[in-house]
Structure formats: C-alpha cells, structure tokens
Amino acid sequence: MASEVKVPTLGESVSEATVGQWLKQPGEAVALDEPIASLETDKVAVEVPSPVAGVMGQQLVKEGDTVAVGAVIAVIDDAGSGAKAAPAAAPAAAAPVAAAPSVESTTLSPAVRRAVLEHGIDPAKVVGTGKDGRLTKEDVLEAAKKAGEAPAAPVAAPVAATPAAPGRHEERVKMTRLRQTIAKRLKEAQDTAAMLTTFNDVDMGEVMAMRERYRDLFEKKHGVRLGFMSFFTKAVALAARDIPAVNARIDGDEIVYHNYLDVSVAVSAPNGLVVPVVRNADSMGFAEIEKAIADLGKRAKDGTLTMEDMKGGTFTISNGGVFGGLMSTPIINPPQSAVLGLHRIEDRPVVRNGQIVIRPMMYLALSYDHRLIDGREAVTFLKTVKEAIEDPGRLLVDL
C-alpha cells in the first residue's frame, strides 16, 4: 500500500513553489513527519514531511520543477513491503560507491554540489553540520582546506584520472525561486520609488566601550551577546518618533503611519538575502532585541524561517559591515519607505577639539523614498541616529 505526499499549504497568497531538494531517495526508510523534500517559495524554504512511516517510493517531480499547493509529488510505500527490499539493494550499491563517489546520487543543494565538484571532495567522507546532519557549503570548504594542509596522498589518483574539460567553460544554473523574487522586488523598488541615499559617519567609540564594559555581565544575565544591532535598533526607534515618515509607507494616494516599529533585519541565508522581522522593536529592551535577532539569524542559516517570520516590517536595517563593506547605497524593501545601511568599523583620523585623533568610525547610509520623505527629514533622522550612537545615554533618557 502506498500513501501520497502532497504539497502542503504554503501561506497566505502563496499557491506554488519550486522543488529545491529531495531529502530522501527511493528505497530509503522514512519516519512519520520526517522531511522528504524541500520546497522553495518566494520568501522561504518549506520542508515537506512524510504523512506516514514507510519507505520512500517514486518521486513524481524533479528538483527545479514548479508544483502547486495540493499536488502529489511522491509516494511512500508501506514499511512492510519496501523495508525488506531496501537492505538487499545496499550491498550491491556499495561497490560502485567505493570506486568513485557520485555527487549526483547524494542529496546536496546546488551550492554544495558545485563546491564538491570544484574542490574534488568526496561528500560521503565529510560530516555535515547542517539541519539533520546535512552537508553545507562551509563543511565542504573546511574539508577542502584541511585536504590542502595535509600532505599529498596516493588516494588523489582517482580524482586526477577524471577527465576535465580543457580551456574556458561556462555553467548554467537555474535561479532559485527566492533569487528570482529578490531580483524582481529590488527592480520594482527602483522603478517605483523615488530613491535617494544620504550619508553620515558615526564614532563607534562610546558604544564599543559600553559593550566591553558590560559584555560579560550582559551575557551572563541574558544568555546572549550584546551586539551593535540592539543599539542601532533603539536609535532608529528613537529617531522615528521625531520623523514618523521614515517609518511610514505609501498606499495608493494615502500615507500610512505606524505607531509601532517592526524592523526587518537583513540576514544571509543559504539561498540568498532574507529579511525576517523583529516585531514591536520600539518596545523591546536590548536583551530582547539581541535574542530576537540571534534567533532569526540562526533559523535563516538553518532554513527554518516561516512565512510568518517574513511578513510585515516597517523599516529595514542592513548590516553590510559583517562582510567588510565600507559604504553602499542599500535598496528599499517595498512597501517600506526607508532602509538604514551599516558598514564596517574602521580606524580613521578625525578632528576632535582642534586635534587630529584616531577614532573607530562607521559610515551610515539611509536610502529613502523621496515621494514621502523630504531631504531635511532624512538628514535629521540620520543625524539623530548618529547622536544616539555617539552618546548611548540618550537611548536611556529618550533624547
């Protein structure tokens, strides 16, 4: 007896998805509710659980196919019949695997598969650190690094025997649904909003000193590290009270003002940049903000963010400094009207009290929709954020 596996409900207004990865192959044992496939929607990856315990049967669609909600994508065979066949097939398959590892037969994401091929790594010999022990790109790169540090061994011969295409070559990889959506939304933002970016720089000395002073006590009490994001989130909340247009949006011929601050935090995920939301950030304390951001960042890396995590958002903070970026012009996240870009901290000479001194400086960039936000408001908002960061006491006394 076989049970059908159908595409689950993916969220409000989401009717289809792309099959990103099969997590189980035909003949493998499957437990009840165990993920057998990963689907990519416009915003997040969604795992499809098995409705029954049994053995993975036929896969009715391929990776990269578009499937609708409710569509049957696979069947799970009854454990009684399929479980006996699976062990018998294992010994026969062992010989060719030992002779030459097959990347195609391993459940790998496109990025991981590409890294495996580029570095000549046997995925079967690498311990995965991803969700449910899956292999990540970082695992492959770490294995390649270790292999490079180790002395050359005879086992490298099979890799050398594999014929390689000489000269220049190209590779075509289909864009993921998430990447297509990112491209579409960013282009729509440029085509719709009258975007403009204003810059300032901020002396990070006081915040860095405060972090150093309270780091251990903060982490001991709250179980999370005190980072820069909580300071900037609180500074944005403070500035948005004086300049509410920055936290508003245009809806037709109306302006919608929010008396709350839901901050979209741009974080890097395996399939691209995502912007989960920290809700009611204006009413949160430093520890609550840090915990919320840490949780969203971890779930983005694990690919476990939900549609609900991505909904809404009234203002975005994007920290390109973690990648070493010195300056950028971030793009608005529609329908929001502004985004604050943070960058790397760099020691630079500045003038203080008539003297040239070296200070840890960071460039700030505020991109905004000029249809709603005037230049004076944008500059005032960014100046308020700068003053709050350079004098963190303002965050405590609401100045």
Q: Active site includes 139? A: no
222 tagged catalytic: no
In whole angstroms, give the CA distance from residue 356 to residue 266: 35
Which residues have a Cβ under 8 Å from the Cβ of 148 and sit 6 or more positions away? none
Two tokens at 170? 């190209």
Instruction: Point out which residues pair with 197 in neighbouring strands.
Output: 367
Phi, psi of 72 (to 5 degrees): -85, 125
Considering 169, 374, 391, 398, which one is annotated as catalytic? 374
Residue ranges of alpha helices (H) inside the chain are 79-99, 110-119, 137-149, 157-161, 177-192, 205-222, 228-242, 286-302, 307-310, 375-390, 393-397
Give the torsion sign (CA, 186, 187, 190, 192): negative
Query: For residues 132 and 112, what is the distance between their CA atoms, to the nearest angstrom?
Result: 16
Cβ–Cβ under 8 Å, residues 367 and 338: yes
Tokens representing 374 are 């005037």
Whole-angstrom distance, CA of residue 29 vs CA of residue 81: 11
- Answer yes or no: are the C-beta atoms of 40 and 182 closer than 8 Å: no
DSSP 210-272: HHHHHHHHHHHHHSS---HHHHHHHHHHHHHHH-GGGG-EEETTEEE--SS--EEEEEEETTE
Please give the radius of gyration of the chain, using alpha carbons only, rounded to the nearest integer.
Answer: 25
Largest interatomic CA distance in the chain: 84
> Which of 65, 216, 242, 370 does the annotation list as catalytic?
370
Q: Which residues are catalytic?
A: 370, 374
